[in-house]
Amino acid sequence: MKLKFTKMHGAGNDFIVVDAIHQDVSLNAEQWRRLADRRFGIGADQILVVERPVLDGCDFRYRIFNSDGGEVEQCGNGARAFARFVSDKGLSTERSIRVETMKGIIAPRLEDDGSVTVDMGAPRLDPAEVPFDSAGLGGWAEGEDTTWPLPVGGKTVFVSVVSMGNPHAVQVVDDVDTAPVEQTGPAIEAHARFPQRVNAGYMQVVDRHHIRLRVYERGAGETLACGTGACAAVVAGIRRGLLDSPVRVSARGGELSIAWNGAGQPVYLSGPAVTVFEGEVEI
Ligand SMILES: N[C@H](CCC[C@H](N)C(=O)O)C(=O)O
């Protein structure tokens, strides 16, 4: 079976994007994983699938598969690529669209400067919604936030937990370049306190409107940027009294901008969405 795809990225977080409206895209986890494999397949952090909406009032349905083949709830950098793709392919003539995901509705908007701004919806701040098992852990109140002492590799790391539809554990580090992302990222990602695993964020506060961020992503490993990770880090930083909206997020693959005005309010994610090449593959 032939599959048409477009290779894209958002600040270096790279994607295979497929139109499942005009072609049959019924693949299993092993086939998704193989497509995302950087040697045996096309190679990508995630695969983004464009479908007709199910919910009234939505323009599209947006499905996301990590490079390990698992389907997940949300992808912020992917949402920008999704909006660029449906516009470039003529699937939509609107600048702003409403897109349903596994956990909620997001609203990307194409900007005049070529960037895309996405209303990512409101963060979920109750640990049980992340989900995170905090039973018996004893968190520390920091501003409006709580940091949780997580035993990792014989040490204790202090994480904030936030859901953007997908789960995030964010810790503050002095310098992202020397942060032990490779050493502790896998242990946090698979930590038993996160029943659905978790994206592990390492945030360096540069000033109240600027952070540097690395994320060891659930189901993909460290990526050059993580959109929902940037949202979660800024939400945690604002709640801990370390940051003020808007916040510039410097990731290894590029710059993102996050704005959030407090609990119950949507998080806005802005950044690039780039098409690299188009192709067709036999699966
Ligand atoms: N690895 C994430 C999905 C992709 C998120 C990231 N690429 C983004 O831009 O938000 C998870 O399993 O929740």
> Digits of tens for pLDDT over the chain (283 positions)?
899 999 999 999 999 999 999 999 989 999 999 999 999 999 999 999 999 999 999 999 999 999 999 999 999 999 999 999 999 999 999 999 999 999 999 999 999 999 999 999 999 999 999 999 999 999 999 999 999 999 998 999 999 999 999 999 999 999 999 999 999 999 999 999 999 999 999 999 999 999 999 999 999 999 999 999 999 999 999 999 999 999 999 999 999 999 999 999 999 999 999 999 999 999 8
Pocket test for ligand 1, best of 32, 72, 75 (most atoms within 8 A of CB): 75
Contacts of 195 (CB under 8 A, 6+ apart): 131, 133
Q: Is the ipTM of this complex over 0.85?
A: yes
**Tokens representing residue 278 in the block:** 């188009």
CA–CA distance, 269 with 254 (Å, rounded to integer): 13
46 Cβ inside 6 Å of ligand 1: yes
CB 153 within 8 A of CB 139: no
77 Cβ inside 6 Å of ligand 1: yes
- Set out the domains of the chain in order of their start, with CATH numbers: 2-117+272-282 (3.10.310.10), 127-265 (3.10.310.10)
